Structure 1
Amino acid sequence: MPAESGRRFLASTAVLMNEILKLAFCVAVAFRDRRKADGSMTPLAISMQKVVGEVFQKDHWKLSIPAFLYVVQNRLQYLAVSNLDAATFQVTYQLKILTTALFSVTMLHRRLSHLQWLALVLLTAGIAIVQLPTSSPSEAKHTKRSGSYEGIHADRGSGQETEPEMNATVGLIAVIVACMLSGLAGVYFEKVLKTSSATLWIRNIQLSLYSLLPAALGVVLMDGAEVAKRGFFDGYNAVVWTTVIFQASGGIIVALCVKFADNILKNFATSISILISFVASVYFFDFNVTLNFIVGAALVIFATYLYSKGERTAPVPPQRTSAPEYVPLQNTRVDDAEDIQDMEMKPPR
């Protein structure tokens, strides 16, 4: 997205700013909650010290795992985009919906009915169809190249129109591994959130802290020379800042969704949000409704209905039942007084 000066902002700086904004917001909320718990008479320094202690508790290292996985996943995404055409990437990357379900079953022991598995397959197909590009091959190739680090570098070059050589095998391997890491990182983060006493905001602070280092290294290693020459915020405008803020807000909302729902429902919400964005594009950007969108949207809506219906038919784990309690008979008509005495003396079975 070029700025008014015509120069593109550096994607690595946007990633770093995303993490900084998330960290600042979560620190503010965690500190506010601590102040409410401590009371107004407690010194600010004491409350902040308690927040720091909660952040660096003994199990804070657990958040380094999803942070590392997310960094590797993002790098693999760029590698995949650089070696695949847009259609292949968009379709194969939706496999993350199924990998998330697989890890939810294996790591969280979640039970899914056959109807829910069918719904997940339909959701994967539907969102892939919606995102299939409708442009010509040459336009799709140009869009793909401009969306990658290699494409950005080429766009900044001397104006040569030569396309970077693509390796489909490398691209497919990269996107499949990225889908696996996406599911693993998301489900692991969900498990940490739901099996610890730490609050959501403390866990988000820990995740952001572990994500800051690789994000900062990305700025230095990939765009260090450009940052030194042009400045960190060169190319930023109102649209770029809005995008960064939305990205940071989205990360927090995803964490809330994972905490109070699960990763599978998060994927359904994400898919529906894609449909909403396409509908909004009709009014704001003169987007033409295509057959791909109609078919894909119908599949997503039907898959959402199937999954919710499957929740009511999902197998329930067997539970041990205790022996029924002895309840004295009431309002029972017995003619013989001796029968009443015998019933009262009988032990419960």
Structure 2
Amino acid sequence: MIRFRTLIIYCCLQPILVFMSKVDGKFQFSPISVNFLTEVAKVIFAIVMLVIQSRKQKAGEKPLLARSTLIQAARNNVLLAVPALLYAINNYLKFIMQLYFNPSTVKMLSNLKVLVIAVLLKFIMRRRFSVIQWEALALLLIGISINQLRTAPAGDTAFGLPITAIAYIYTLIFVTVPSLASVYNEYAMKSQDTSIYLQNLFLYGYGAIFNFLGILGTALFQGPENFNILQGHSRATMFLICNNAAQGILSSFFFKYADTILKKYSSTVATIFTGLASAAFLGHTLTINFLLGISVVFISMHQFFSPIAKVKDDKPGELLELQDTQNHRESLIP
């Protein structure tokens, strides 16, 4: 429960810190550099935790930091490179989305991932959902649609396309890519009986590599000055790096020991706090669309996790008793 509440706080702060890091509506730094430094911070944390965990090992246990252990774990968890790449793309999109939407809207749009994740879990991991749960997801779409009415200013363009069109394209990618990453990450982490800190080490290591390649590509195409990963950073970006690192670390525990839906539910709960914080500290107006939309979203989430909405694998008691009676009667017939 403590990790759940803490993750809500980090999810709430993330879009606000991204917004605060803008200067005159633009970023003075490379978003890829923020993502790279975030991955480096998470790698350092994973190494520190591995060292602490290795010192607490009992006699006879296989050393966590032994060369053979690391090589074997690296081979077993090579699939983590896939979600690491997808997360690298998604983390860049988080900054792009802030150019078109305010923090509370970005947080609301991220709730669309719950529906996509549910569909992916059904077809990839064969997870079952009840009719009530699918209806709750439909309510989620309705709530998000209410919130998005008249969000983008009319007449503006970007890359030669209306801003609404390019914003919706980014939204589609923003929703689909991390959903694939989350489901694949849960599958990869649960499929191997490896220490979560070892898995995090490889996941974050791959993420750092992909983001560093992005920095190199930017430097090659836009000039060597872009290779300075500390250029344009401020106190807000430093807080953002720490917040993103903490959020990513906590998320890994949800993927390993809980599930992706619960993790996304924490992000949904954070939506209302993001909206309130944006209104209090950034001067954003809480529109009636947002209030109605967030109300519908929270109703859908309550309905989705309600005990009566859960899929029941066992047959009802009355049906079992009837079946037992029929079987008993058939056994008496010669």
Task: Provide, for residues 248-279 of structure 1, a one-character-per-residue CA deviation record: whole Å limited to 9, x for no partner.
Answer: 11111221222232111222211111211111
User: Against the structure 1 CA distance between its residues 298 and 93, is the aligned structure 2 distance closer, same or farther, given a 3 Å change threshold?
Assistant: closer
Distance 1:201 1:51 in 2: 16
Distance 2:226 2:96 in 1: 29
Normalised to the residue count of structure 2, the TM-score between the two structures is 0.72
| Counterpart among 247, 254, 261 of residue 251 in structure 2 | 254
- Residues 1:188 and 2:184 are matched in the alignment: yes
Distance 2:110 2:90 in 1: 11
Distance 1:7 1:285 in 2: 17
Q: Which residue of structure 2 lines up, in the alignment, with residue 336 of structure 1?
A: none
Distance 1:295 1:136 in 2: 21
User: Does structure 2 retain, via aligned residues, the 8 Å contact 1:15–1:215?
Assistant: yes
Helix, strand or coil at the partner of 2:66: helix
Shift of 1:232: 2.5
Q: Which residue of structure 2 lines up, in the alignment, with residue 220 of structure 1?
A: 216
- Residues 1:122 and 2:139 are matched in the alignment: yes
Shift of 1:317: 2.7
The count of residues paired between Structure 1 and Structure 2 equals 290
- Residues 1:297 and 2:317 are matched in the alignment: no
Q: Which residue of structure 1 lines up, in the alignment, with residue 160 of structure 2?
A: 165
Q: Which residue of structure 2 lines up, in the alignment, with residue 209 of structure 1?
A: 205
Q: Which residue of structure 2 lines up, in the alignment, with residue 65 of structure 1?
A: 82
Helix, strand or coil at the partner of 2:313: coil
User: Against the structure 1 CA distance between its residues 86 and 47, is the aligned structure 2 distance closer, same or farther, given a 3 Å change threshold?
Assistant: closer
CA RMSD of aligned residues (A): 3.9
Shift of 1:80: 8.4
User: Does structure 2 retain, via aligned residues, the 8 Å contact 1:67–1:211?
Assistant: yes
Helix, strand or coil at the partner of 2:201: helix
Shift of 1:136: 4.0
User: Does structure 2 retain, via aligned residues, the 8 Å contact 1:128–1:296?
Assistant: yes
User: Against the structure 1 CA distance between its residues 211 and 173, is the aligned structure 2 distance closer, same or farther, given a 3 Å change threshold?
Assistant: same
Q: Which residue of structure 2 lines up, in the alignment, with residue 109 of structure 1?
A: 126
Distance 1:173 1:135 in 2: 13
Q: Which amino acid aligns with 1:193?
A: M
Shift of 1:47: 5.8
User: Does structure 2 retain, via aligned residues, the 8 Å contact 1:13–1:219?
Assistant: yes
Bigger Rg, which one: 1
Between the aligned residues of both structures, percent identity stands at: 22
